[in-house]
Each structure stands twice: as structure tokens, then as C-alpha cells.
Chains A and B, each alone.
Chain A
Amino acid sequence: MSSSKTVNVGIVIVSHSLKIAEGAADMVRQMVGDAVPLAWTGGDVDGGLGTNVAGILEAIDAAWSPSGVAILVDLGGAETNSEMAVEMLPEDRRGRVVVCNAPVVEGAVIAATEASGGSSLSAVKRSAEELYA
């Protein structure tokens, strides 16, 4: 392993549907490759449609990078639960996790593309948010 390897920003996908989250992650892996830490979560604690804070926290942990983590969400609860998860992170990590205002599938691919080039967390977020610009 090379010590000069860039530490890329991680990507977390949060959808109400586990299938959507998993499918979006598949697209990221196939289109962008393995250079970016990636995790996804979807569904409520009973396995139904929804999101849950514990699952989001696990995903952030799985995709953790010292450069930070960008979260892509779908609808309302995914965003509020993601924000809640960020609030619950240890203080030293909290400032390095952002929720992007971008469509979940396209945003995940764009954010991962940006991250794969070694871009900063703010650049990754800005790039994903260009989709709504």
C-alpha cells in the first residue's frame, strides 16, 4: 500500500428504500470504481420503507474517511434523520460530515466522481449540488 495515496471523501446513500440505496450504490461502484469509501442504508428498523438514525450512523462509520463524508438523501425523513445522525457523531467527526442538497442517485454518482479525484468535502458537496443549480 502506498502512503502517498490520497484519502478520498466517503459517500453515504440514505433512501427510504433499501433497494434504491443499494441500487444507487451499485451504480456508483460500477461507474466510478472502488477509489471512494461507500456505504448505504435504507428502510426503517422493521424493514419497511423509511430511514433510521442508527442505520445512518453505521453507514457513516462504514464510509468514514479523515477527509470527511458526504451524505446523499432522498425525501424528508432521510434528510432529518441524517442531520440527527450527524448531530450524534463524536465532536471530532461532526464537522466533517455534510448532507448534500442533491438528487440521491445522480448526486451519489456525481459526488463519488468528484471524490474519486481527491477533491475536498466542500468541493464534493458543491459538485453534487450543481445538479439542482
Chain B
Amino acid sequence: MHDANVSRSADSFVPLTASAVLVNPVGLHARPSVKLTQLAKSFAAKIEIALDADGPWTDAKSPVKVMRVKAPQGATLHFRVTGADGETALATLLALVHDGFGET
């Protein structure tokens, strides 16, 4: 007998998680939210963000939902990424946060 919970689907991936501290002064406000959403949309993987490792998780490809997270400077942004290009997506997203969203 097979365990019904074991997924045999070729397109199932283990979610990758990582976190980064928001270093830019305004935190995750309008402009950084737009950048984050645009970057997330450039990957096929499912990408979610949260302020707590336990969630609640927000779809990083939804500009409205990302803006509603309202994460301030110093907050830790958690990522959960699931998909074939997940590793690249995660690395690129973390780089964006570490870089302060390109803001000075």
C-alpha cells in the first residue's frame, strides 16, 4: 500500500525558507513593496513573505497584499519559496532586502 500523502507529482517541491532584516529606512513601504512584487513576479516559484516564521504568509506577487504587510525598518522578513526556480528566487530576493531595495 502507498501512503496517500506521499506526493508523486514531478512538480512538487519542498518549500525553501530564509529571512532577512529590513535595513532600508522606510521598511517595506510603497516603493520597496513594488520592487519586491516585481522581482517575485519574475519567478515561476510560489513566493510568500511573513513577519513571523510561523506566518501568516502573504503572496509576494500581490502588490496590494505586500503593501499591507507594512513591515518597518529592523523587522525580519521571512520568505517561503516553492518551485523549480526557488533557489534562484530566494537568493535574488534576499539580495534585494540586504541591498535595502536599492535605497540609500
Q: Which residues of A contact B (CB under 8 A)?
A: 31-32, 109-110, 113-114, 116-119, 127, 130-131, 133
Q: Which residues of B contact A32 (CB under 8 A)?
A: 34, 38
A-B contact number at CB 8 A? 33
Q: Which residues of B contact A127 (CB under 8 A)?
A: 62-64
- Verify if B41 is at the interface (C-beta below 8 Å from A): yes
CA of A61 to CA of B62, assembled, Å: 28
- Verify if B37 is at the interface (C-beta below 8 Å from A): yes
- Verify if B42 is at the interface (C-beta below 8 Å from A): yes
Q: Which residues of A contact B38 (CB under 8 A)?
A: 32, 113, 116-117
Given A109-B63, A110-B67, 16 further pairs, Cβ under 8 A? A31-B30, A32-B34, A110-B64, A113-B34, A113-B37, A113-B63, A116-B41, A117-B37, A117-B38, A117-B42, A119-B41, A127-B63, A130-B62, A130-B64, A130-B65, A131-B64
Q: Are B30 and A109 in contact (CB under 8 A)?
A: yes
Sample (23) of A-B pairs whose CB atoms are under 8 Å apart: A31-B30, A31-B31, A31-B34, A109-B34, A109-B63, A110-B64, A110-B67, A113-B38, A113-B63, A114-B63, A116-B38, A116-B41, A117-B37, A117-B41, A117-B42, A119-B41, A127-B62, A127-B64, A130-B62, A130-B64, A130-B65, A131-B64, A133-B64
Q: Which residues of B contact A116 (CB under 8 A)?
A: 38, 41
Within 8 A of A (CB), among B8-67: 30-31, 34, 37-38, 41-42, 61-65, 67
Most buried by B among A113, A117, A130, A131: A113
Closest beta carbon of chain A to B24's beta carbon, Å: 14
CA of A79 to CA of B54, assembled, Å: 43
Closest beta carbon of chain A to B49's beta carbon, Å: 15
Q: Which residues of A contact B31 (CB under 8 A)?
A: 31
Most buried by A among B31, B38, B42: B38
CA of A32 to CA of B31, assembled, Å: 8
Most buried by A among B37, B61, B64: B64
Q: Which residues of A contact B62 (CB under 8 A)?
A: 127, 130
Q: Which residues of B contact A118 (CB under 8 A)?
A: 41
CA of A67 to CA of B75, assembled, Å: 38
